[in-house]
C-alpha cells in the first residue's frame, strides 16, 4: 500500500495551509507518536514537499530526492516502521529537504564565489536535523528508554539511525513481534538468512560488523551487528 501526502505534480492553485495540515494528519497521524503530530504538521506546512509512505524496503527506511526539471522534491518513508523510527526517519529526510532549499536559495543570490553543494550528511545536515528534532525531545513523544539514546545520537548523527548500535537496538523493542533477531545475538558459526533470501554463516567481528560467508556463493560479506536476521536451525 502506498499513501501519498501530496500530488506528484503541482496543482494550478496551491491548497491552503489548513488543507495541507488536514492531509498530513490524515496520512501521517496513524504512523507517528501522538505527541509529535502537530509539530510535524507545522514543519511540513512551512515547507511543503511531495511525501509518500511506501512499502518496506530492505535497503533503506527513507529517502529524499531533490527537485529535477519538472519533478518536485520528494520524500519517501517506509510504512512498516514503528512510530518512533518513523518519526526519526521522516525528520531525517525533512532535514535533507531544508538543506537543499537553503542551498538553492543561496545559489539565487548574486555572488562571485561559487556555492559548494553541501555533503549529504555533512555539518549542514547534522545541524538542521538536530534543530528539527528539538520539538520532539520530551517524554510526551519518546518513551523514557528511547529519549536519552536519541539525545546522545543527535550529538553527532550518522547517515542512518540503523548504523547507531544503541539507537537501533532500543527502537527495535517497539517493532511488532517477528522471527528476526540481531546478528550480534547469534553464536559464532551460526547459520542464518538475511532478508529471507541467501544463507550465511557468521564468523568473527570486525569493528561494528561481522564477517559472514554466503553459503550459496562462498563469497564473504561484512554484515552490520544490528542487522535483523533469521536463524536457520540445524
Q: CA-to-CA distance for 211 and 224, rounded, in angstroms?
A: 9
How many C-beta atoms lie closer than 10 Å to residue 84's C-beta? 25
**pLDDT at 14 (0 to 100):** 61
Look up the pTM and report it. 0.79
143's grid cell: 518513551
**pLDDT at 8 (0 to 100):** 46
Residue ranges of alpha helices (H) inside 109-221 are 123-133, 147-153, 165-172
Tally of residues, the chain = 234
| Domain spanning 181-231, CATH class | mainly beta
Alpha carbons within 13 angstroms on the beta-carbon side of residue 67 total 17
**pLDDT at 6 (0 to 100):** 56
**Burial of 40 per CB tally in 10 Å (0-12, 13-18, 19+):** buried
b (16+ CB within 10 A) / e for 7-25? eeeeeeeeeeeeebbebbe
**pLDDT at 212 (0 to 100):** 96
**pLDDT at 57 (0 to 100):** 81
**Weakly modelled stretches of the chain, pLDDT under 50:** 1, 7-12
* Domain ranges for the chain: 3-172, 181-231
**pLDDT at 1 (0 to 100):** 42
**pLDDT at 59 (0 to 100):** 75
**pLDDT at 211 (0 to 100):** 96
Amino acid at each position: 500500500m502506498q499513501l501519498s501526502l501530496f500530488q506528484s505534480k503541482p496543482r494550478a492553485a496551491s491548497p491552503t495551509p489548513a488543507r495541507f495540515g488536514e492531509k498530513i494528519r490524515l496520512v501521517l497521524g496513524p504512523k507517528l507518536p501522538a505527541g509529535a503530530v502537530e509539530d510535524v504538521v507545522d514543519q511540513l506546512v512551512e515547507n511543503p514537499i511531495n511525501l509518500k509512505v511506501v512499502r518496506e524496503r530492505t535497503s533503506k527506511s527513507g529517502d529524499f530526492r531533490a527537485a529535477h526539471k519538472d519533478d518536485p522534491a520528494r520524500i519517501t518513508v517506509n510504512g512498516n516502521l514503528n512510530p518512533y523510527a518513523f518519526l526519526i526517519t521522516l525528520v531525517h529526510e525533512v532535514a535533507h529537504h531544508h538543506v537543499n532549499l537553503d542551498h538553492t536559495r543561496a545559489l539565487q543570490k548574486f555572488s562571485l564565489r561559487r556555492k559548494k553543494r553541501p555533503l549529504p550528511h555533512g555539518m549542514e545536515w547534522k545541524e538542521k536535523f538536530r534543530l528539527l528534532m528539538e520539538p520532539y525531545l520530551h517524554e510526551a513523544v519518546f518513551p523514557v528508554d528511547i529519549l536519552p539514546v536519541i539525545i546522545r545520537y543527535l550529538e553527532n548523527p550518522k547517515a542512518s539511525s540503523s548504523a547507531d548500535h544503541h539507537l537501533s537496538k532500543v527502537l527495535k523493542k517497539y517493532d511488532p513481534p517477528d522471527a528476526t533477531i540481531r546478528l550480534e545475538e547469534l553464536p559464532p558459526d551460526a547459520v542464518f538468512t538475511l532478508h529471507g533470501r541467501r544463507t550465511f554463516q557468521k564468523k568473527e567481528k570486525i569493528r561494528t560488523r561481522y564477517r559472514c560467508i554466503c553459503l550459496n556463493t562462498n563469497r564473504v560479506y561484512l554484515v552490520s551487528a544490528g542487522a535483523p536476521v533469521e536463524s536457520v536451525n540445524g
